[in-house]
Structure 1
Amino acid sequence: MKVYGLTGSIGMGKSAVAAMFRREGVPVFDADAQVHLLQGPGGPLLPAIEARFPGTTGPAGVDRAKLGAAVFGDPHERKALEAIVHPAVRAERTRFLRRHRSRKFVILDIPLLFETGGQKGLEGVIVVTAPAWKQRRRVLARPGMTAGKFRQIVRLQVPDAEKRARADHIIHTGTTFADTRAQVRRLVACLGGKTGR
């Protein structure tokens, strides 16, 4: 089984592309969705997060606004949160890989793949990209998003041009939905047809 990473900066359309891969029958591990489950109502990480960041959890799980305020822009606090979350996500990913070990290939959807060195050990990296103006328009349309917050997020991410330069495969979403889906289908056919080195 070959393992590919899927990544892209905020607002590039990575979630839509991941859904397209799933519709083509490719198993996709969504790191973000896993974090939501681990931190959601009754989530196994709630006690550790509450102990480290008091007042940031409740019956509905993590209060993302409060936790975000506690760690955003503070590298030390962000590292403390990552030390709680990352090992749990890695354990879930290991279970996912074991469950799908008979498949030709699977995809790990990892938003901060290059930022965390997550590309190591992967067969290849798929980067989702779009023009900067379209990225900005998509992100600023999100509830609670501001131009300042958008700039801050982009500063923390590896630039899109660098991601594209380091990619093994690129999916462009600045085009039509049908064209993006056609790109995904071509890539599935290509990756599914690859044999061992």
Structure 2
Amino acid sequence: MKTVAIIEDQTAIREMVSQAVIDPSEYNVIIESGDGQIGCDSCLEQKPEFVILDVMLPNLNGTEILRIFREKIPETQVLIFSGYQSPSLVRELLQAGAHGFVEKSAPLSELRKGIEIVSNGGSYFGPEVALLLREAMADPRSSDSGINILTKREREILQLIAESHSTRDIAAKLSISVKTAENHRTNLMRKLDLHDVASLTRYAINNGLISIGN
């Protein structure tokens, strides 16, 4: 029986996957979390064999979680289950270590198929994501700019800014000085050529760092 983690911020979806999609005779759900940081920490501690992961999560987004998993628990198989997808995001998630991606608009049969294949070491992409992946492969420039030019710290700060945290709050949350937080904020604004919080927030939403509900 494979051990499973579900990291998804919408409670109803998390419970639906756990109770209606996962086969309890084959999978043991040992972690359920709606918070990216808490879910990531729990996985690093308990090392589940398989993770169902949303992209837009509070405190730590799915892309950053994948990068941490790739370094700390590379044997864990990860299936992205998200309502947001774009060619650049799909490519970035694959580069970060995702083994599959099923869109939330897909039938539950697609999710079950993705769970079965990815948990057993394969790769699986829902029909919409497969189309986006072909677009990303056809246009290599699609991920050569934008979010990918930001450092890990700048992406963290972008997410926190979009979640309405002040510079002082960001500094405290990341255990850095206010001046350092200000410098990171200035650098990411310069790189993205965006110069107000509203623009940064729209950018974060469009690139799958947060959802409108977060």
TM beyond 0.5: no
Give the alignment's TM-score, normalised by structure 1: 0.35
Q: Relative contact order, CA 8 A, sep 6+: which one is greater? A: 1
Give the alignment's TM-score, normalised by structure 2: 0.33
